[in-house]
């Protein structure tokens, strides 16, 4: 099983300083894990994104439970 900090690193490697759809991040991280021995579910990725927003490690807009209609980005201070 993947550790939270490893999953966070995968998510943060996909996120940019401009807004990206949560669905794009969830799909990229989830599909990328298919090549490895440890599969990561889309729900795991989405839950970690919510946690990263709560920890102020990501900015968000929209309802994060609606992946296609919400977006995340790195905080402006991370530029």
Contact 7, 56 (CB under 8 A): no
Q: What are the pLDDT digits (tens) for 12-69?
A: 999 999 999 999 999 999 886 655 556 789 999 999 999 999 999 999 999 999 999 9
**Using CA atoms, how far apart are residues 63 and 3, in angstroms rounded to an integer?**
26
Q: What is the pTM of this model?
A: 0.88
For helices 42-54 and 4-14, the axis angle rounded to 10 degrees is 80
Domain boundaries, the chain: 4-78
Write down the CATH number for the domain with range 4-78.
Answer: 1.10.10.10
């Amino acid at each position: 099983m993947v550790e939270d900090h490893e999953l966070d690193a995968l998510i943060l490697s996909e996120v940019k300083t401009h807004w990206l759809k949560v669905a794009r991040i969830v799909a990229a991280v989830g599909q990328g894990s298919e090549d490895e021995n440890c599969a990561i579910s889309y729900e795991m990725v989405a839950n970690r994104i919510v946690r990263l927003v709560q920890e102020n490690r990501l900015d968000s807009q929209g309802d994060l439970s609606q992946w296609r209609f919400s977006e995340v980005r790195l905080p402006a201070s991370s530029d």
